[in-house]
Amino acid sequence: MTPDLSRRDFLGAAGAALAASRLAGAPAPLGAPALLLRGESQPAGVGSPNAKPGIALALELMGKGTDTLDAAVEGVKILELAPKDSAVGYGGLPNEDGVVQLDASCMHGPTRRAGAVAALEGIKTPSEVARLVLKYTNHILLVGEGAKRFALSFGFKEEDLLTPESREAWLRWRANRGANDDWVNVPENGPPMARVTGTCNLNVVNRNGDISSMTTTSGLSWKVPGRAGDSPIVGAGQYTDNTVGAAGSTGLGEANIMVCGGFLTVEHMRRGMKPADAALETIKRVVAMLPDRWLRPNGRPGLNLNFYALNKRGVTGAASIYPSQYATSEGSQAVLRDTAYLFPGD
């Protein structure tokens, strides 16, 4: 600001210009302020470790001109269709009744649209159903029986998603779930039946700077029927702002929902933080919000949570409560890297 132009004169001139634009019929500027990242974007992908093959495929597809959301969906479908993977889709670990219920959500940066499904039964690829919700409805989230009927109306085939391996794991858990129940415990040298989280998150940006994010899961193993974690919640399990970047998460979804972690991480990047720093800042917020029942006797969290992020330029990063890994692009390849973390492992 020059010495000849006072702050009052500057604000007055800006106000007059805004008023004139409105009188002329021009739309008033709207939207959240964003850090403008100039220059060409580098095609990139980032996500959970199990997204490594999906990132490689997404990069290949985007290089051929495939839309970012379609590339992300094809990337996570690798896992959704893999019966030996118990984290997502076909072969995912079931709820306490032995039923596989799947969740997924996606967001398409260029169109600012989102779609999601929760507690979806009998459909192997919830990522595709979430994309259909985005493309063909004015809704964002469909759940349960309604989500399944929606999928069937588009020609999806209802199938049994419980593989022999997942069923065996569920039977072992059921046999050991209580000391005073009527079930006979399995041998002590059997595999541990701890509750596990299983999720795949994948975020991508193409050379034009267009961004999309996708998260899919079979959820917490042995969960209460109907439970939905963060994965189908837009703003928690994943979030995209095409002017800034995208972020997603894996781990205990309830802890993430409490802070809207996908959205919060993108907002940290909007303020100028690098992806890894933004993710770590969100982790700090998660820990601050944890209820006492989720803390260990030493006061540290009794769970892990991971956030994966990329910005519009194609810079990627990730952070977690305890040491972990993430998948990211390196040129045209996908590699595993160590996350930033808040606490060292025990």
First-last CA distance in the chain: 55
Residues in Cβ contact with 20 at an 8 Å cutoff, skipping those fewer than 6 apart: none
Strands 340-341 and 316-320: parallel
Q: What beta strand segments (E) does 270-346 contain?
A: 305-311, 316-320, 325-330, 333-338, 340-341
Instruction: Give the catalytic positions in this structure.
Output: 199
Helix axes of 126-136 and 68-80: crossing angle, nearest 10 degrees: 150
Q: Please state, as a whole number, how many other Cβ atoms lie within 10 Å of the Cβ of residue 199.
A: 31
Alpha-carbon distance of 339 to 328, in angstroms, equals 11
Q: Please state, as a whole number, how many other Cβ atoms lie within 10 Å of the Cβ of residue 247.
A: 34
